[in-house]
Structure 1
Amino acid sequence: MSSSTNRLFKWFSGKRPFVIFSLLLIVKSYLAWMSIFDGIPPLSPLLKEIPFIWVTFCLIEYFASKRKTLYYLIVNLLLTGIFFAAIMYYKYYGVIVTYHALQQVNQVTAVKNSVFSLLDPYYLLIFIDIVVLGIVLIRIARLRKQQRGLEPKLRRSHRVAVSALFALCLALCIFNIWPNRASMNEIKKAESMGILNYEAYTILSSKKEHLVDAKQINQSVIDKLKGTSKPVDPAYYAAAKGKNLIIIQLESFQNFLINLKIDGQEITPTMNKLAGESLYFPNFYQMVGQGNTSDAEFVVNTSFYIPPNEAATQNYPDKQLPSLPKLLQKNGYDTATFHTNVVEFWNRGELYKALGWNRYYDQKFFGTDHTVFFGPTDEVLYAKTMPELEKMQASAKPFYTQIISMTAHHPFTIPHELDRITLPERYQNTMVGDYIRSQNYADWCLGQFIEQLKEKGIWDNSVVMLYGDHQGLPKYSLNKDELALMEEIYGRPYSNIDMINIPFIVSLPGTGPAVIDHVGGEVDVMPTAANLLGISLDDQIHFGQDILNQTYNLLPERYYLPSGSFLNDKALFMPGVWYKDGDQYPLAKDGVTQALTTEDEYNRALKLLQLSDSYVKQLPDRQAN
């Protein structure tokens, strides 16, 4: 063995791995912090992350007498993976990843295009050292066979030093974690604790949630918390009694698209026309979590909030869920839902059984021709759905169908042969531009479908509700050029309110157009539909309200915004560590920023979430079929 390789072996077998890997992980800590947090103090990543890193390194130094460098490399890989996951998850969801997200791993391959679209090339540099050091480690392993006994043993004095450093770093970890446990805002909590400490805290602090006794949860308690009362003579009550209900859930459709023109080109002419001819709610907001589209299906059809962790399809599919399909079936309706993806995606098959749909149509029905992203385009969705609606229309029963569009899915890179507009050069090869052209195509498909509904006489015999399922352009996913495009569109910086604002449009036969400014969310769709159809919800717990008849609303938000966030009729509130250091963002642009939200509303919003979680978790289990 050459003297140079012998020196290499000795160099890596000594104390230097502790220093080398510490430096590498400090650099990665700064990369993660700069990608996630705003205006970070220069020493924060060092002071928050290095104690956790050194705790793991001390364990290696104390217990590993052989293959020490291999263990350093493994720990380096694991911690690097946590930092990388934190960056990518934040870019997609705007929250800090936790171990709960492991349940989503089986969905990653399906959304790999979305993941790759958020991957800035420099993020991959976080793994370069692992590749290089892996090669070096292989060389060392070969040398070790020839140099048994070269690896130094841990002397007693070194053991004492390692034990002291371990105790000090563990104390620092606890010091970083303990005072910051009460923070409601997960981003603030992770920044105060450090990313690695926060991840450890979420695992170690996991405990059984306190559930409110289901017997104590009733509609009057919910309505009191929401600050609403049942109107004596509700407007629009039974205005569509006996009519069909068609709910069209539009993939990633945000409200700013309504009436948007770029260089004189209408982006969504179909939705613009609908908004001008129907009941249009411009102050309507998403209420989804990790499950995105499937969460929207759950919230709309149950009027419950999403669970605190994971998607609703992962938490509640085994429950006997009260739902809109079941409610309408009791009132003589046939029910069906349509989606061109495979029903196994996000465990939809089990959700559909729990919701009680009579039938569902997925990719087995729609086929695999003309596929974009996860399934056939919206052209295929609407074309093949139409004959089924005709069959349902021909029967003696009214029907309720939910149709889930999908073509305008993140990352919005539909083939250019589907383009129906040409955007200016500044929009080319940007996520904003791709989003706009995909929504333009999806809008054209919708227009074709609506014309067919009218030709077949279904439109005039139906209440048609349309809404966006969730945001399409998270502001934390956009680069500075894309944020500049959004500022050009809005005439001001793109905000959290803008991001979660989706349109809600109700086409009601025989009713003229109106713009209704009442604040609403997806949880309100079921009560609003029930009012229009003249169906009572007196025997069905619901956390939404009929937004045709309520001017005040209290909407707890989860996931895409920090825990404790909520909307009322005046503002969006986002907490800091608690309520008093939170921020409020007015819905109206009149310059008024004081006294728009209250701490009482904050506490009531948290209580509503607890009641919803408690009620659903204590529902009877359904029998598998």
Structure 2
Amino acid sequence: MGFFAIALVLFWIKTYIIYLIEFDLGVSNGMQQFLLFLNPLSSGLIFLGLALFAKGKKVGIWIIIIEAVLSFLMYANVVFYRFNSDFITVAVLMQTENFGSLGGSIVSLMEWRDLLYTLDIILLIVLFKKLNINWTVVRTKARRPITVLAAGILVFTINLGLAEIDRPQLLERTFDRNYLVKYLGIYNFTIYDTIQSTKSSTQRVFADSSDITEVENYTKSKYAKPNAEFFGKGAGKNIIKIHLESFQSFLIDYELHGEEVTPFLNSLVHDESLDYTYFDNFFHQTEQGKTADAELIMDNSLYGLPQGSAFSTKGNNTYQALPAILGQQQGYTSGIFHGDGKSFWNRDEVYKSFGVDEFYHEDYYDMSEENVINYGLKDKPFFEQSMPYLEEMDQPFYAHMMTLTNHHPYLIDEEEASLAPAETGDGSVDRYFQTARYLDESLEQFFSDLKEAGLYEDSIIMIYGDHYGISDNHNRAMAEIIGEEITPLKNAELQRVPFMIRVPGVDGQGTNHEYSSMVDVVPTLLHILGIDSLDYILFGTDMFSEDHKDFVPFRNGDFITEKYSSISGVYYDNETKEVIEEPTEDMKAMKETVLHELGLSDKVMYGDLLRFYTPNEDWEPVDVNDYFYVKEEETE
């Protein structure tokens, strides 16, 4: 019991210290600080207490093993959080096929001081060796470990009760894992997440056709009529959709060392003769799926999952995605271009469910050492090598071009860097501007190639950023970059990503200030093509419509509007940046709408509800057996 007590105290202290050092949990009052300190105790009592059922010195061995396993779980969350500002979920752990290519990023997130997090294990091993001759040979009476477990349950019950007082309906209402860890601890959160994942996996079994009715009624009520100026003006035009990896809007017009970081993109924004419309209040809505979430949202107008990636966990769902809609309604050929492995994020399976005709993956590209860095093919050879495939596609086509170089940890060969790094002392932030410049240069060359091939003028060009590049773990450096403190509101504002679009034959609007987001892209593009979005289950609305709904939900339940925002349960005035101490009933109602919308989208995803929905009488469900993403030479 003495060894158990020492192990418990070491575990308790280490966990609390890591909470304070590694995680930004937003502790705002004495109650939250007390719960942060208390919650490791219940986990320690319960998990370490299980070892007391063993016999003799096996108790000590099991205590060390359990403490080591819990420490590994904690450290895995530490490394994951350093880039994602989030915690590992069961759904993330199911994405094991992606881990092999993450090695460089993971190593870059480790620090030498992390070795200190093994001190408790080392001390326990040393102490165990010292006490080797003093262990009893009999099994302790069962009432002792049972008492310890009961104490752990009691502490957890008190913990949960106090948490519910400070944050009512904690387990029922929040999508935010930060709250769960802050109030209940990382280990209790892991148990909770496991239970939730098990429940969500059974939802498809119990879903039936009546479940889609509520969703359909909501999306139909939210529908925004198309803008006559744009409706149908792009019918039959090629669509070239360009994905800017990890690209945030603050890069537009940003100058470093007296130079524009993205001069080419800046020219698209500001040169009215180019006829682009740039939405400067466009936000990403991704969660743990990051790029895969962006793909899901922007091809389906559905939200990603609150945990993990839908591509990995819901890849076999029924989808009525943009590629299938365009193919059936207007005879489009669809293709996705990505210089990475075809199975990453389960893409080679998900794209079949989307109705994507061609998937140009790493087998189609020259992936020799000089062309590859970090996650895959460099952007310049990617665009260059994609051109022949693009020219061969049957027209009209829907081509989705996915860049890679501007991805954490933002690596670039010295000879290819045309901009000096920033000087904040934070490597990721400093290099971010170099890879963003490289992306900008590659895009300029791609546009030249499109024009030379005769594909530019008669194509709808759509450019967007997929998610943030700099997480809030880099707030010190980012405050230096933008010259102001990174408050919770400012961090939300930094989730802007660029979205710009050019429709042939239609005058661009210049800069459009409408608040909009990824879920709005599908209905916007459908209307440009002359397809009424009312037939489909879509959570967004046409960004050009006068009836566009301009509130932006984030996946964790926060939201932002033109006048005010709700971040971590706190309302802010967007103009004054001050906290709104007494939010209006309309603000509270908007919060309820956001949570309701996210909940309905989750019902669609977890219940696979689109299998019960037919958009129109001409709709043919996508048959995944019609698609085969293997390069022709490989089948000979």
Q: Would you call these one fold, judging by a TM-score over 0.5?
A: yes
Q: Which moved more, 1:278-287 or 1:24-33?
A: 24-33
| 8 Å contact from structure 1 (residues 341, 374) kept in 2 | yes
2:7 aligned with 1:21: yes
Question: What are the residue-to-residue correspondences of 1:375-414 with 2, within 5 Å?
Answer: 375-392=376-393, 395=394, 397-414=395-412
Deviations 1:360-380 (A, max 9, x none): 100000131210112110011
Given candidates 570, 588, 591, the residue that maps to 1:583 is 570
Residue 593 of structure 2 corresponds to residue 610 of structure 1: no
How does the TM-score come out when normalised to structure 1? 0.86
Alignment of 1:301-320 (within 5 A): 301-320=299-318
Q: Is the 8 A contact 2:91 2:309 kept in 1?
A: no
Counterpart-to-counterpart distance in 2, 1:610 and 1:592: 27
For residue 260 of structure 1, the aligned residue among 239, 242, 254 is: 254
The farther-off stretch of 513-522 and 457-466 is 513-522
C-alpha displacement at 1:59, in angstroms? 2.5
What is the aligned partner in structure 2 of residue 451 from structure 1? 448
Query: 2:186 pairs with 166, 170, 195, which one?
Result: 195
TM-superposition CA deviations, 1:542-590 (whole Å, max 9, x none): 11111011443233321xxxx3222334333234xxxxxx113444457
Residue 614 of structure 2 corresponds to none
Instruction: Output aligned runs, 1:251-400, within 5 Å.
Output: 251-277=245-271, 278-330=276-328, 331-369=330-368, 370-392=371-393, 395=394, 397-400=395-398
Question: More displaced, 409-418 or 196-205?
Answer: 196-205
Contact conserved, 2:410 with 2:435, CA < 8 A, in 1? yes
**Equivalent-residue separation in structure 2 for 1:427 and 1:421 (angstroms):** 15
Q: 1:451 to 1:245 in 2, by over 3 A?
A: same
Deviation string for 1:211-234 (max 9, x for gaps)? 68344146552143x4x5425x53
The 1:183–1:21 alpha-carbon spacing in structure 2 relative to 1, beyond 3 Å, is farther
Cα distance, 1:263–1:513 mapped onto 2, change above 3 Å: farther
Task: Find the aligned partners of 1:387 and 1:445 in 2 and give their Cα distance.
Answer: 16
Residue 448 to residue 607, structure 1, CA distance change in 2 (3 Å): same
2:480 to 475, 481, 485: 485
Over 3 Å counting, the alpha-carbon distance change for 1:566 and 1:150 in structure 2 is closer
Structure 1 position 80, deviation (Å): 0.9
1:423, CA displacement in angstroms? 3.8
Change (3 A) 1:195 1:309: closer
* 1:299-340 deviation per Cα after TM superposition (whole angstroms, max 9, x unaligned): 111111112332121233212311111111120212111000
Match of 1:166 among 137, 149, 152: 149
| Counterpart mapping for 1:107-186 below 5 A | 107-131=98-122, 133-134=124-125, 151-154=136-139, 160-177=143-160, 179=164, 180-182=170-172, 184=174, 185-186=176-177
Contact 2:550-2:561 within 8 A present in 1 as well: yes
- 1:71 to 2:66 alignment: no
Alignment partner of 1:33 out of 8, 19, 38: 19
* AA partner of residue 172 (structure 1): V
Equivalent residue letter for 2:570: D
CA contact (8 A) 1:240 1:508 kept: yes
Which SS does the other structure have where 2:138 is aligned? coil
Query: Do residues 221 (structure 1) and 204 (structure 2) align?
Result: no
1:570 equivalent among 551, 558, 563: 563
Give the corresponding residue for 1:599: 588
Query: What SS does the aligned partner of 1:119 have?
Result: coil
- Whether contact under 8 Å (1:566, 1:572) holds in the other structure is yes
Between the aligned partners of 1:235 and 1:195, the Cα distance in structure 2 is 52
How far 1:406 moved relative to its partner? 0.6
Instruction: After TM superposition, list the pairs within 5 Å mapping 1:434-583 onto structure 2.
Output: 434-475=431-472, 477-478=473-474, 480=476, 482-488=477-483, 495-510=490-505, 511-549=507-545, 550-558=547-555, 563-575=556-568, 582-583=569-570
Work out whether residues 248 and 467 of structure 2, in 8 Å CA contact, stay in contact via their aligned partners in 1. Answer: yes
Two-structure CA RMSD over aligned residues (Å):
2.8
Which protein shows a greater Rg?
A: 1
| SS class of match (1:245) | strand
For 2:56 and 2:579, the matched residues in 1 are separated by 65
Conserved in 2, the CA contact under 8 Å of 1:556 and 1:565? Answer: yes
Identity of aligned residues (%): 26
Q: Which segment drifts farther, 295-304 or 64-73? A: 64-73
SS for the counterpart of 2:415 is helix
**Paired amino acid for 2:456:** W
8 Å Cα contact 1:551-1:569 kept in structure 2? no
Give the aligned length.
583
Give the distance between the partners of 1:523 and 1:216, measured in 2 at CA. 20
Gaps of 5+ in 1: 1-14, 576-581
Distance 1:491 1:518 in 2: 25
Question: Do the aligned partners of 1:307 and 1:315 also contact (CA within 8 Å) in 2?
Answer: no
Helix, strand or coil: the match of 2:541? coil
**Partner of residue 238, structure 2:** 244
- CA distance in 2 between counterparts of 1:296 and 1:421 reads 28
**Distance across 2 between alignment mates of 1:235 and 1:591:** 38
1:591: how far off? 6.2
- Cα deviations across residues 449-488 of structure 1 (Å, max 9, x unaligned)? 011112222111111000001000011x2163x1332342
Query: Which letter maps to 2:604?
Result: Y
What does the per-residue CA deviation read over 1:35-94, in whole Å, with 9 as the maximum and x for residues that have no partner?
Answer: 222448565444221122022333322333342221011111121122223323332322
- The 1-side partners of 2:135 and 2:588 are apart by 65
Residue 49 of structure 2 is aligned to residue 58 of structure 1: yes
Scaled by the length of structure 2, what TM-score is found? 0.85
| Distance change (3 Å), C-alpha of 1:183 and 1:244 | closer
